[in-house]
Homo-oligomer: A and B are copies of this chain.
């Protein structure tokens, strides 16, 4: 990629991030009365539900803190982060240490789920907030949540939340790629911040979290249990020992999720200087794009069945914003690591599709959901599932790669 194109892309992403995306969320999403963030916003930014997503209290806090850490502190970002931090700490934790999934505007619990994503987003958020502010209590809390989550990962019986199991594990014991995947990213971010703090260089020390061993264990599980090179796919769900399952869930591929996992693995491969792991991550990216790219209408489909059998999810062929943002960053990172033209070609294809269709030129920010044919199916800007995370993260990370 020549220098002019790099500069042009850098300026373009910077303008999308700082003149469109972040102002939209700062203007419409902050709850100055109760703290925290609304994310259920309509096309114009009006709140259509005041219920708060705990995922996005963490994800919002992370992005505002990260912006400070990456681009320099700004009062409006610090204030937005403070609003999220206080709401997160005061209202998003149950007495057992686990977090809720959804709370009311004023912080009363609505839902608590078995999954640990609320916690992983809180961990990276609190660590990043510590880095932006020096608030040591935030880092301590991040690390103590991380230790709890690792102990549950190590042995589910350690989970203080005794929720009724969803599927009878005596009949069919399964596990989800999402778990080691999100933990790998959490570990990466926390290691980056905490290492600076404790000078342990990624090895065990009195911070009592052995980031290096954890990263190796998580990577190994993803590669050995979920990646099936003979089928050229990273599976979302496998048997408890990595067995391929011949069920709709066992055949299901989520190309956007695989692409996101590919760049988590590329970052880890860079960190560990592991060229074997880098190649495996690149394979995942290649295979996911081949399977997920819609040859007829363009864009990355939401789900695929690896054997081409029917998919039960009604939204399987829709085009969502986040697989596209993850692909943009994954492709730039792949290009940086390989210098291969094919990644630039794919990058151009994904970039053009994405910026032709997702941004709302009238009211700002992006549509999140398109029909298969690329027409808009939802005009909302945010929900329990869409908020200030994938878009600003990808824009910021792409900027940083282009700057290198």
Measuring CB to CB, which residues of chain A are less than 8 angstroms from any residue of chain B? 40, 42-43, 48-49, 51, 104, 108-112, 162-164, 166-168, 171-172, 247-248, 309-312, 314-318, 369, 371-373, 377-380, 383-385
Q: State the 5 A-B residue pairs at the shortest beta-carbon distance, nearest first.
A: A310-B380, A314-B315, A48-B309, A108-B171, A163-B164
Shortest beta-carbon distance from A315 to chain B in Å: 4
> Which residue of B104, B163, B171, B373 is within 8 Å of A171 (Cβ)?
B104
Contacts of A104 in B (CB 8 A): 171-172
Contact indicator B309/A111 (Cβ below 8 Å): no
Cα-based distance from A247 to B102 in the complex (angstroms): 13
A-side binding surface: helix, strand, loop or mixed? loop
Contacts of A380 in B (CB 8 A): 310, 312
Q: Within the oligomer, what is the number of copies of this chain?
A: 2
Shortest beta-carbon distance from A390 to chain B in Å: 16
Cα-based distance from A316 to B318 in the complex (angstroms): 12
Cα-based distance from A380 to B247 in the complex (angstroms): 15
> Which residue of B171, B371, B384 is within 8 Å of A312 (Cβ)?
B384
Cα-based distance from A371 to B310 in the complex (angstroms): 16
Contacts of A110 in B (CB 8 A): 167-168, 171-172
Contact indicator A49/B247 (Cβ below 8 Å): yes
Shortest beta-carbon distance from A226 to chain B in Å: 20
Contact indicator A164/B164 (Cβ below 8 Å): yes
Cα-based distance from A369 to B172 in the complex (angstroms): 29
Contacts of A318 in B (CB 8 A): 314
